[in-house]
Structure 1
């Protein structure tokens, strides 16, 4: 995209400005507040000072000129209106449907429709039963705080979601041990260690519960589930006391027969208590990325890293989530460059990911086009070319154009952070 045709990313009502302004430290405004409110603001200021306060801002990717590479509407059911039309049709089939429960489900607030829905969901996934809860976060907290019994152990992948950790903290498990991310041998060693140190588990009187995700939302890679299951069978020696709990939040709808998820894709239902277009878009991304003439140089210089690009052609399926990394000080620079080209991706930093592992999270959707994906890759390399000129001293610029525009505004406003030198 020509620099002269780029949009300004500093709209006063835009998501970027609103987000940056939400991180402004407010100590000088809170001195006159009552102690209770002042203490709350002090706690919030701790987050604001590191730009890690989660705030609610406008979603500019929903505007007509934006290209959505950041939302979780993977199958584009929301943007196409499919969910809305299906909901209204379903509602018309039940004219007497009550929209109020009248109480919690355990206190006379249950009703037949939700039970039918849960059974349909269970059947869809080849499971015995289902339970609807408020969110995937709540589901993980609920499962991991309730299922492990005293004397049980939990083994979890090092990169499971924060909600899993929150649930595990509340559990009754006697031991919680992580294994290295997607590492079969580390998983095996962890199971053996627990068996050796916990006699009741080795005797089959207590269990090991394994926490993994089918698709890891901040890495975009796939769990080697079939291999993990085989290792668990070997270590448990047929006792059946190693059970898996799979978080399929980011694979349901995209993998497996009719979108049933990776567990069904691998035919592991009995072992575990728009798809085509998204695959095509992922293939288009990796092909465009790895065939670009600047790709080898960008990798060699450490300016650009896309971990899932290695060996992408050999994978049986590609996920809809891709992470892009660069030098940590440049994360916001590349994000702002893509934003100025109307490509909305998600910058992810600590505490969502480990310190010094910030990255961009790119998600492909059924409604995205191959042309949009190719254009995204071209913009990534336009930024790479710009940053390489800066590093080589071939330009008077010290900061990329889009980042410089934002930082000049931030300096005028007395704001800091977001990669600002």
Structure 2
């Protein structure tokens, strides 16, 4: 009977029809910073800039091997899975109907269309993914297509395991630790199952975004559960419910082996990798690198592989990423200032600012028949400790203000 690792090896060999192995690169910057031998498995350099092409290819390949008459495939995705399906459909010369939410950024729609060319049809349905998914499944059943799930599929899991096949061959030995991002769990399940057979001495750590920790929730109760709310910023890994099949491979993971990364801190990592290394990572692709600091002394002197799972970053999001990174790092704050409605009041405030304090936002509406008006002010500075000095001077001068930097309600409305 063929074991899982044998199936993953076959999938990896078959994948060479489509693209060469993605690079495994030692990162000198991270290695020096954390005192470890740190390697990046660059899935952001696949033909579709994510590992999703692997599962889509393998699932499509295996369906066609057993049902050669199957010429129609269907999926629902707002991003990387759609692009993987499109690329594989063009390769195999079959048709794929790809359902995407109406709110999908045009960049992702265009890239999917480029990868699939005449082999795909894109249907924009639903404001939310659940509506898109329901429409795609209803169409698939009616049209007699084969539905390609993004992660909850044994052949998809098997295909994602090809990442581990490549990295062991490229490294030439078993790493001490592999760090892998988790969304629906397909990549994590595939790597865990393969390494358990091929490199049982390699430990693993799993990373979820704080706003979509579905694996953590499932481990807490022993079965997959649906999160009542998710933060979609880490769109490649913000999944409300980990897959049933993927959880089977992950159910006995110790809770301490699952790390949670705050969304704003991920933004710091994205900018660091971009500015220091010239590596473009999407939020999900930065997860494994982001938690290196959390592991601290546990990784010193060890060989670590971080799977950078995707690089489909829309640069229109860069201002938001910078904003969130600055706020997390304590370099930018917003506050509401109660300002007297009299000549010279604004000048009094400006004199309180330090030499490194820069006004990034200023909104003031003078109100008639009132003695005071409220100003929304955003301040950027060069060091977090500058804010303590600024607030001290504001207190000394008798200004009334409220720090709203971390107020989610106000943040949704004004930031």
TM-score by length of 2: 0.30
